[in-house]
Structure 1
Amino acid sequence: MSLLIAALQLGVSFLALPVYVLNFLGLWDPICKRLFPFIMSKLAVDYNKKMQQHKRELFSNLGDFVGPSGRLTLLEIGCGTGANFQYYPRGCKVTCVDPNPHFQQFLSKSLKENDHVECERFLVTSGEEMAQVATGSVDVVVCTLVLCSVRSTEAVLREAKRVLRQGGAFYFMEHVTGDASSWIFFFQQIYDPTWSRLFDGCQLTRETWKDLEQAGFAELKLRHIMAPLTWNPVKPHILGYALK
């Protein structure tokens, strides 16, 4: 089976040969950084439409975590195009974090369309390195479709815990690896190397729920779903929130 998967991986890689050539020449990364926000701005619309019920349910109790300031202070890791803003409560103060500065123009558009949300600042940095955010300074941290592509899930979760106040919550919605006996997992293994190259480091076979279980949160509310999406490789999802 491993030989079959390796052969099929090679076949998929051949179809994406121009990308691999550009990467070898050192040209693909800057191209990807500029293209990726545009692509995500289109994909996010379809994703939100299909996942609307799940997102509404997930974020329905954000108001329960309003801190002493009387306004919900929220930090979103990998904010991207601002696809989650519509689900945030009125008056929410958001710190946006993303390592790709080219998302900012799409983020600005989303903020204009969601004027019930106030963006305090946009930090161009990774979720693993949020030193600009004070310890215990936010009520909620949100992370959706991000942990699949970070360098270290453990480091991101550690930083999320650090910036959360005591009693705050970490919200997540991530695609994950499929069941080892499923066809989805079979195809995830085939697509994964090329998928990661095309989609800015996104990996299809991460067992992210294990990282959340080991992150040391006081309480973890997590469930697995099969998302109603067209692309089978990203259908397996986890979603929920964890309390500090």
Structure 2
Amino acid sequence: MDVLVPLLQLLVLLLTLPLHLLALLGCWQPLCKTYFPYLMAVLPRKSNHKMESKKRELFSQIKGLMGASGKVALLELGCGTGANFQFYPAGCRVTCLDPNPHFEKFLTKSMAENRHLQYEQFVVAPGEDMRQLADGSMDVVVCTLVLCSVQSPRNVLQEVQRVLRPGGVLFFWEHVAEPQGSWALMWQQIVEPTWKHIADGCCLTRETWKDLEKAGFSEVQMERQPSLFKWLPVGPHIMGKAVK
């Protein structure tokens, strides 16, 4: 199997050679940044339909973090089009952060459709460098299908720890690698170099649960769920929360 993976990776690379050449020449990334928000305006609707009850259960816990003011400062990391807004309880003051400025018009539309939320700002920055946000300024950080595509999950989680207040909570939902030694993992390894270009840096084989467990949170709760889309190489998911 170890020999087979690089050979099949090469075959996929040859079949998708124009894409890799565009990426090598620096032409693909700007194009991807432009079209990817439109793709993300469609796919989350399908995943929300499949995961609606689970997401409502997860994000309903935000209410317990609201103090006497009935407000909570929430940062959505890698906010995309705002597909999670509908699940947040009233009283959330939402700050959005994403490295792709092309998402802003989709966020504006999502906020207009979710008047129960208070929209604070849209910060264009990577999760590894959230210097525009003050230490301990957030009660909640939400991270869904983001840690697969960042440069360094470890650095992102360090930044999450920094911006969370003591006792603040990270809510996460991420896809992860298939089990070691499985044919499904081998398939992920084969298509990953090409998939990363198509899906704006998304890595298929990350063992994100390990990063969460090592990030220094006082408590981590997670559950594992099967893949939502059998026709995609995206693997199983982990969902849960981590308390600072």
With structure 2 as the length reference, what TM-score do the two structures score? 0.96
Could you tell me how far apart the structure 2 residues matched to 1:183 and 1:231 are?
15
Could you tell me how far apart the structure 2 residues matched to 1:13 and 1:44 are?
28
Does the aligned pair in 1 maintain the 2:56–2:87 contact within 8 Å? Answer: yes
After superposition, the C-alpha distances for 1:94-137 in whole angstroms (9 at most, x for unaligned) are: 00000000011111111111111121000000111111111111
Residue 196 of structure 1 is matched in structure 2 by 196
After superposition, the C-alpha distances for 1:50-79 in whole angstroms (9 at most, x for unaligned) are: 121221222121111114643011001100
Q: How does 1:30-179 map to 2 (within 5 A)?
A: 30-67=30-67, 69-179=69-179
Residue 19 of structure 1 is matched in structure 2 by 19
Could you tell me how far apart the structure 2 residues matched to 1:236 and 1:66 are?
32
> Which amino acid letter does the alignment assign opposite residue 86 of structure 2?
Q
CA change 1:67–1:137 in 2 (3 A) is: farther
CA change 1:111–1:122 in 2 (3 A) is: same
Runs of 4+ in 1 over 2 A off after TM superposition: 67-70, 227-233
Could you tell me how far apart the structure 2 residues matched to 1:150 and 1:97 are?
13
Could you tell me how far apart the structure 2 residues matched to 1:96 and 1:196 are?
23
Could you tell me how far apart the structure 1 residues matched to 2:43 and 2:157 are?
26
> Which amino acid letter does the alignment assign opposite residue 170 of structure 2?
F
Deviates more, 1:4-13 or 1:93-102: 4-13
Could you tell me how far apart the structure 1 residues matched to 2:101 and 2:45 are?
20
The percent of aligned pairs where both chains have the same amino acid is 55
CA change 1:115–1:88 in 2 (3 A) is: same
Does the aligned pair in 1 maintain the 2:172–2:241 contact within 8 Å? Answer: yes
Could you tell me how far apart the structure 1 residues matched to 2:126 and 2:67 are?
25
> Which amino acid letter does the alignment assign opposite residue 45 of structure 2?
V
Could you tell me how far apart the structure 1 residues matched to 2:145 and 2:77 are?
10
Does the aligned pair in 2 maintain the 1:72–1:91 contact within 8 Å? Answer: yes
Counterpart of 1:140 in 2: which secondary structure?
A: strand
After superposition, the C-alpha distances for 1:164-219 in whole angstroms (9 at most, x for unaligned) are: 11111001000000101322212111111111121111100001000100111011
After superposition, the C-alpha distances for 1:120-161 in whole angstroms (9 at most, x for unaligned) are: 000000111111111111110000000001111111111111
Structure 1 residue runs without a partner (length 5+): none
With structure 1 as the length reference, what TM-score do the two structures score? 0.96
* 2:238 is equivalent to residue 238 of structure 1: yes
Does the aligned pair in 2 maintain the 1:67–1:139 contact within 8 Å? Answer: no
